[in-house]
Structure 1
């Protein structure tokens, strides 16, 4: 069996920054006898979440008293309204929002102020998309496929952005249909460069292997997209080395 590891494998810059910030916050809280919570799961990776829990870092629950705690905003970001709610408790906020996501938030906010309707190409219900929608000032729409374009209302001028982990090819197809429908539009290519590079590498790598193994949690949008763009090559999710050791492949199998 031969294994080819993608050059782009590993955490992206946004997740690395979030990890650094939450671990730094945990060290400070130990010295100050405080608690640290994350607003939602920091990332969709079971092993990382378990490691954080062992260090006393828990996901914020509805009944938690956070008045003297530190709340870490995860890489996906949150809505302005949710930020105000956390601030009102008196908690210390540690903002670990990915800089790429912050850029999209700013684009939406600035254009919403100028009267633009916002169209977010992304996954409805995803934490990042929920956060981005909060900057649209009540005039935002989420679509995930070219077929969704026809269901959108008529709008005078639109600002078009993407979830940072969106599929590059899907984004391009949807944008073409949006341009045909809305003549007064502004398109911002907000897919993270790490995302696009990984997707390109997976497409190329899958052409020269017998199977693809995607290391990551099933709840991750990034992980799922990488799996599904593998050009119909057999793929499977692996969340830790124990799972991989139980897998069986022929000696001549090439794995990406």
Structure 2
């Protein structure tokens, strides 16, 4: 059985940077150290950080001491100000590509555009970008959402995109918005790593009998990779660890493709790759 590993699979720059910042905080920052929400969307990596002494929490109380690390997805800047005012050490691990989307949303708002964010409305990255647009932006997940929001959109539209969205979704939505607006300003804030990993995933899905997409079930970019692969290859499985691989997934298979989301650790990917390569069917 041949195993093909995607060239662009696993940690992206933003995730590597966030984890480097977190590990440096252990040595240099006051304890306890917490993140508001998981620093990245991978349960196994978050558990590993817990063992090192960095704890993900759902809220920060007024009595909290020590250090708060801002997750890679970013948060509302007003919340950061609150942390600083209560004497917490604040370490910003926001992905630079997310910061670019935040900055563009802020710019478009200041320029008077009716801002549209293309992305998942309940994703922490999108919630953070909304804050930079003064909570006035409209979130559009798919083309069908545009009609529902037509009364709230002006003829002068500015668009930013969740960094892990697909170019196809961006293209469809912008195409439809262009029929509604007199002026349309679009910033493509999809990150480079996302575009490369999605292109690789399509290629692997076409070349193989089965695709294993590795990453957190709560990861937007991994879920999108799985969706992209499944549209091409129906035998696509989204898994987090090697324990989820069942032999019947690979019965009669000659070629297996493996890719992974941007928050998937090298050790998880290596375990799966080794298991599949050693499997006797």
TM interval, short-chain normalised: over 0.9
Distance 1:63 1:187, change over 3 A: closer
1:73, 1:95 within 8 Å by CA — same for their partners in 2? yes
Structure 2 equivalent of residue 183 of structure 1: 182
Please give the alpha-carbon distance, in whole angstroms, between the structure 2 residues aligned to 1:28 and 1:247. Answer: 46
Distance 1:146 1:192, change over 3 A: same
Structure 1 equivalent of residue 234 of structure 2: 233
- After superposition, where does 1:34-113 map in structure 2 within 5 Å? 34-62=31-59, 64=61, 67-113=64-110
Find out whether 1:133 has 2:130 as its counterpart: yes
Q: Deviations over 1:27-72 (max 9, x none)?
A: 224xx5x211112101111110110000111013436566531111
Q: CA deviation at 1:242?
A: 3.4
1:2, 1:255 within 8 Å by CA — same for their partners in 2? yes
2:114, 2:156 within 8 Å by CA — same for their partners in 1? yes
Q: CA deviation at 1:185?
A: 1.5
Q: CA deviation at 1:250?
A: 2.7
1:227, 1:235 within 8 Å by CA — same for their partners in 2? yes
Which protein, 1 or 2, shows the higher relative CO under an 8 Å CA cutoff with sep ≥ 6? 2
Please give the alpha-carbon distance, in whole angstroms, between the structure 1 residues aligned to 2:53 and 2:61. Answer: 14
Flag as ranges the 4+ runs of structure 1 deviating above 6 A: none
SS in 1 for 2:35: strand
Deviates more, 1:86-95 or 1:211-220: 86-95
Q: Which runs of 5+ in 1 are unaligned?
A: none
SS in 2 for 1:207: helix
Q: CA deviation at 1:170?
A: 0.9
- After superposition, where does 1:113-152 map in structure 2 within 5 Å? 113-152=110-149
Structure 2 equivalent of residue 255 of structure 1: 256
1:67, 1:90 within 8 Å by CA — same for their partners in 2? no
TM-score under structure 1 normalisation? 0.93
Please give the alpha-carbon distance, in whole angstroms, between the structure 2 residues aligned to 1:252 and 1:234. Answer: 10
Please give the alpha-carbon distance, in whole angstroms, between the structure 2 residues aligned to 1:232 and 1:12. Answer: 25
1:210, 1:233 within 8 Å by CA — same for their partners in 2? no
Q: CA deviation at 1:143?
A: 0.4
Q: Give the count of matched residue pairs.
A: 252
- After superposition, where does 1:5-16 map in structure 2 within 5 Å? 5-16=5-16
Please give the alpha-carbon distance, in whole angstroms, between the structure 2 residues aligned to 1:74 and 1:181. Answer: 36
Superposition RMSD on alpha carbons, in Å? 1.6
Deviates more, 1:138-147 or 1:231-240: 231-240
Find out whether 1:218 has 2:225 as its counterpart: no
